[in-house]
């Protein structure tokens, strides 16, 4: 499962951050998962649950997932449209059909709360 390795990467990142801040417990992790990132949110949550169990640093950490809107930019008039993920059929401003994805494929560690 692709998400397992993503969670492993996240845990590595958390250990690095904890080391820098000399902390031994992570309370809350906020992740931004773009609808176009290809990450299955439920699988990510599941992976987090499984992998944090054996890890004292994050054993009690709460996982919050933020799913941002996807931004499409019109190639003709630069008008921006936000959707939950689906591609608009055409630009709302000029009717052009060539819309370019601007945001929505990110996987970002947004915030970490530590003790
Ligand atoms: Zn347009």
Residue-wise pLDDT tens for the chain (115 aa)?
699 999 999 999 999 999 999 999 999 999 999 999 999 999 999 999 999 999 999 999 999 999 999 999 999 999 999 999 889 999 999 999 999 999 899 999 999 999 8
* CA 72 to centroid of ligand 1, rounded, Å: 10
Residue 94 lies in a domain: no
Residue 61 lies in a domain: yes
Residue 85 lies in a domain: no
Residue 42 lies in a domain: yes
pLDDT of residue 45: 97
- Distance, CA of 44 to CA of 35 (rounded, Å): 13
Residue 11 lies in a domain: yes
* CA 71 to centroid of ligand 1, rounded, Å: 13
Residue 77 lies in a domain: no
Give the pTM: 0.86
* CA 113 to centroid of ligand 1, rounded, Å: 41
* CA 34 to centroid of ligand 1, rounded, Å: 23
Provide the residue range defining the domain that includes 41. Answer: 2-68+105-114
Domain count, the chain: 1
Do 65 and 44 touch, CB atoms closer than 8 A?
yes
Residue 40, both tokens? 């299955």
Do 76 and 35 touch, CB atoms closer than 8 A?
no
Residue 78 lies in a domain: no
Phi, psi dihedral angles at 112 (to 5 degrees): -130, 125
Which residues crowd ion ligand 1, with CB under 5 Å? 74, 76-77, 79, 91, 93-94, 96
Residue 74 lies in a domain: no
């Amino acid at each position: 499962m692709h998400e397992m390795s993503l969670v492993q990467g996240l845990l590595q990142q958390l250990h690095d951050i904890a080391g820098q801040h000399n902390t031994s417990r992570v309370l809350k992790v906020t992740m931004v998962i773009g609808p176009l990132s290809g990450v299955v949110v439920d699988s990510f949550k599941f992976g987090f649950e499984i992998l944090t169990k054996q890890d004292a640093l994050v054993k009690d950490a709460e996982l919050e997932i933020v799913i941002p809107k996807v931004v499409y930019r019109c190639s003709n008039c630069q008008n921006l449209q936000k959707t939950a993920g689906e591609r608009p059929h055409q630009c709302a401003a000029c009717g052009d059909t060539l819309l370019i994805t601007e945001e929505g494929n990110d996987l970002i560690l947004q915030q970490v709360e530590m003790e």
